[in-house]
Amino acid sequence: MADRPVILITGASSGIGEALAIELARRRPTGRYVLTARRLDRLDRLADELRKTFPSVETLTIPVDLAEPDGPARLASEVVERVGGVDILVNNAGLGLPNQFAEAEPDQIARQLGVNLTAPLMLTRFLLPSLIERKGTIINIGSAITCVATSALGAYGATKAGIAYWNDALRRELIPMGVRVCLVEPGPIKTGFMEAVESRIPPGESYDQVIDNVMPWMTANVRDVARKIAGLADRPRRRLSMLKRVVWPFRALGTIATLCPPLGDLVVVRLTRRPLAAPRTAEKAL
């Protein structure tokens, strides 16, 4: 890897992407960090913090909406023009809108497909020449949700299942060229991502109450998650389940559903039987 590797992180304005930028800068203080998302103010704030804490770090912030059809191409061409290419690409930006499929607005489905699935594939394709030339690393953020299909997150899960399939195919294609491809499958983490869940919780119960009371044993700390993901840049792995203790209930349910589909249907339908409340906000892009 180059002395001053270029590290591109999508979705760096919050949550995993932001924590990962800080953790990678701690480990690679001579890196050149390209931070991208839509909220430029947050990206600039993070870039300032990185440069103050690690004076040898270089930063570049690029605002882009990855749901736009030309978003990935514009981002890739600006990266190539300004820093020449990429050594580590983290496809992290994503949104999950909990919805029964029949209730989902078509534009919300399209947005999830665009940001979570189309954008990582297209961005990677546009940046592949430099990743191959630099024998780089691609880290794709999937989700533990793919262990078991749940009706409340059908469209979101489809995008993450697509990422998992493509990740494995790409890894096999690029092994001979020395490019490493890693899939991260996080379970629930308390980030902005959960605001979409909050928007579906019936009025009267706060997001924190529900998350703290119902899922404390399932949610991982974003800094712990970032540390594990950052480790992949040094020691790539095919698949990193985050963290195993939070993922096991999904896995157990998935195994039940695979071994005995009628039982799987019964359990999942029962678990998701309570209808989600109507969203309190029209859309938090997550």
Ligand X SMILES: NC(=O)c1ccc[n+]([C@@H]2O[C@H](COP(=O)([O-])OP(=O)(O)OC[C@H]3O[C@@H](n4cnc5c(N)ncnc54)[C@H](OP(=O)(O)O)[C@@H]3O)[C@@H](O)[C@H]2O)c1
Site string for ligand X, 104-143 (x = CB under 6 A): -----------x-------------------------x-x
Using rule CB under 6 A, residue 157 touches ligand X: no
Q: Minimum Å distance from CB 3 to ligand X? A: 28
Long-range contact list for 239-244, CB < 8 A, 24+ apart?
Answer: 239/182, 239/183, 239/184, 239/185, 240/182, 240/183, 240/184, 240/185, 241/144, 241/185, 241/187, 242/144, 242/184, 242/185, 242/186, 242/187, 242/189, 243/187
Q: Is 165 a catalytic residue?
A: no
Cβ proximity of 274 and 202 under 8 Å = no
Site string for ligand X, 45-84 (x = CB under 6 A): -------------------xxxx-----------------
* Residues numbered 231-260 forming contacts with ligand X, rule: CB under 6 A: none
Cβ proximity to ligand X: between 123 and 134 the closer is: 123
Site string for ligand X, 163-202 (x = CB under 6 A): -----------------------x-xx-xxx---------
Q: Which two tokens stand for residue 33?
A: 């960090």
In the chain, at which residue ranges do the beta strands (DSSP E only) sit? 6-10, 32-37, 58-63, 88-91, 137-141, 180-186, 239-242
From candidates 6, 7, 8, 16, binder to ligand X by CB under 6 A: 16
Q: Which residues carry out catalysis?
A: 156
Site residues for ligand X per CB under 6 A: 11-17, 37-39, 64-67, 92-96, 115, 141, 143, 186, 188-189, 191-193, 285-286
